[in-house]
Amino acid sequence: MIDTMPSKAGKKKKSALKDWGESILFAVVVATLFRWLLFEQFIIPTPSMEGSMLVGDVIVVSKLHYGTRTLATPIQFPLTHQKFWGTEIPSYVNWIQLPMYRLPGFRGVKRMEPVVFNYPYEDQHPTDLKSHWVKRCVGLPGDSLKIVDGLLVVNDSVMPLPAHLQSSYFIVGKQPLKDRFFEANNISEHQEVNGGYYVQTEPATAEKIKQLPFISKVEHVVMNYSFSDSASFPKAAPHGWTTDNFGPVWVPAKGDTIEINDQSLPVYGAVIVRFEGWKNAEITDGKLYINGYETSTYTFQQNYYFMMGDNRHNSEDSRTWGFVPEDHIVGKPVMVLFSSEEGPWYTLPARIRWGRLFNLIKE
C-alpha cells in the first residue's frame, strides 16, 4: 500500500522575512485600493477655509459621493503624490497617460458645499497628480453668479453666508492691542496699519469685539482689488472685477453652446484650449481655432464649477484663476480626523486640537 499523503517533514518552511514581505505587500495593496476607491486623507495647509477647516486639520475625503475617477497616470509609486516622501524626486512617470473616467457616485456636487479638487492651472503634473485644493462650490454648471459688495448672488438669489465665513475688518483700539487679544478671539493673523489692525474674522466675532470697552472702531472692509496680482479672473479682459464686486459670469455646462466673440473669448477661451480635450486648439489674433479651423460658436464637452474660500479676503480661488473642470473634482470632505496647531514637533501633545478630532464637516 502506497501512502499518497504529503509528508509534513517534506514541507519547506516559509522564512520569517518572506512572511513579513508578503504581509507588507498585502497591506500596501489594500491601502492603495482603499485610498483610490473610497477615502483619502489630506492636510489643510492654508487659511482659505479658516473657520470651517483650520490650518493643520487632517481631513478625510470621500471619493464615493461624486464617484471615483479611474487613473490617468498608472505608473506611480503606491501611497505617494507627485514626489517620494521628504524628497524632490518624482514618484511617477508620465510615459503612459490614460483617458480618465468617473465611476458612479452617490450624487453630484451640491451648491455651497466644500469640495476637494486638483488645482487646474498646474501644468507640470498630470490631472490626477496636480495639487489638492479645498474650497466651497458656489457655482454649479449653468449657474450665473456675481458678487455685489461682498454678497454672493447666484441666479438672482442672494446666497446664505457659510456658518464660519470670514471677512476683513479694520479694528482700532483705545490703546495698542496685545497678542493675547487676537489669540482670545481666534484671530490667526493681523496687520497693524495707521493706528489700527486689519484682521480676518467671522461677523459674530467682529460684533463681539465691537462691544468691548477698549475698542473704538470695528469697520467691515470691502475689497476693491483682487486677492492675487491686483487683477481678477479673467485677466485678459478690462472688466474691472474685484474680490468683493465680481461678475456676472456664467459657469459652463456640458452641452451648452456659446458664441465666440470679444466678450466671451477672454472668459472661456483658455478653458476650451486647456480642458476640453482638443489636441489642436489655440487662440490667435482674438479668434479661436480648433484643428486649424476658426469657430464662431462652441459647445462645451464637460461641466465646470466656480469655487470660493470661506475666508473670502484671504483665498485665492475662482475669482482669481477661473473655473474647475469636472474631471478635476476629487471628492467631498466628510470628517476632521486629526488637528494640530503649527509649531515645533516636540510641542505636539500640547498642540493637538482635541475638540476637533473626529468632527464631521458640515456644509
| Rounded percentage of the chain residues whose pLDDT exceeds 90 | 60
How much is the average pLDDT of 140-167? Answer: 92
CB 330 within 8 A of CB 118: yes
Query: Which of 6-20, 172-186, 298-312 has the highest mean predicted lDDT (pLDDT)?
Result: 298-312
How much is the average pLDDT of 106-111? Answer: 96
Name the pLDDT band for 116 (thresholds 50, 70, 90).
very high
| Rounded percentage of the chain residues whose pLDDT exceeds 70 | 90
Any idea what the Cα angle at residue 50 is, between residues 49 and 54, rounded to 5°? Answer: 100
Which secondary-structure segment (H or E) carries 297? strand 297-299
pLDDT at 231 over 50: no
pLDDT of residue 50: 83
Residue-wise pLDDT for 258-292, tens only, equals: 999 988 998 999 999 999 999 999 999 999 999 99
Mean pLDDT, the chain, rounded, equals 88
pLDDT of residue 230: 44
Question: Could you tell me the pTM of the whole model?
Answer: 0.87
Strands in 81-208 per DSSP E: 114-118, 132-139, 144-148, 151-154, 157-158, 167-173, 190-193, 196-201
pLDDT of residue 341: 80
pLDDT of residue 9: 53
CA distance 126 to 136: 23
Cell reading at 249: 459670469
pLDDT at 163 over 90: no
pLDDT of residue 227: 47
pLDDT of residue 8: 53
Residue-wise pLDDT for 6-29, tens only, equals: 555 555 666 878 788 788 888 888
How much is the average pLDDT of 176-200? Answer: 89
Cell reading at 38: 473610497
pLDDT at 120 over 70: yes
